[in-house]
Structures are given as C-alpha cells and as structure tokens.
Amino acid sequence: MEDLLKAVANVGFPIAVAAFLLIRIESKLTSLVTSINQLSTILSVRLNLDNDSK
C-alpha cells in the first residue's frame, strides 16, 4: 500500500503540470488556428485581385 501511495505522489505532480499546460496551450492554439485561417483568406483574396488586374 505504501508503494502505491509513493507511486501516486511521484506521478501525480507531473500529470497535474501536464494537464495545466495542455489547458493553457489549448486557448493559444485556438487563437493561432483562427489567425492562420484569416491569413489564408486574406492571401487568397489578394492573389485573386493581383491575377485579375493583369
């Protein structure tokens, strides 16, 4: 039983840190995806305008 408690204590902290970081990074990834999609849209509009003017 003592070995099990030690294992949980040793593994619990890294799991908590990993979960915390994943939650924090998720919002940043969502923002990054939105920005990339906007950039893609802007570039396609600009490229189409450039091709139409030639």
Q: Is 20 a domain residue?
A: no
Is residue 48 assigned to a domain? yes
State how far the Cα of 46 lies from the Cα of 52, in Å rounded to an integer: 10
1 domain-assigned:
no
Residue 16 lies in a domain: no
Rounded average pLDDT over 19-44: 93
Candidate from 7-11, 13-17, 49-53 with smallest mean pLDDT: 49-53
Judge whether residue 39 has pLDDT over 80. Answer: yes
The structural domain count of the chain equals: 1
Q: What is the pLDDT of residues 18-30, one digit of tens each?
A: 888 999 999 899 9
Q: Mapped to the 3 state alphabet, what secondary structure does 1-54 carry?
A: CHHHHHHHHHHHHHHHHHHHHHHHHHHHHHHHHHHHHHHHHHHHHHHHHHHHHC
| pLDDT at site 54 | 60
Report yes or no on 42 lying in a domain.
Answer: yes
Q: Find the domain containing 44 and state its range.
A: 25-54
In this prediction the pTM is: 0.58
Averaged pLDDT score across all residues of the chain: 87
In a domain, 6, yes or no: no
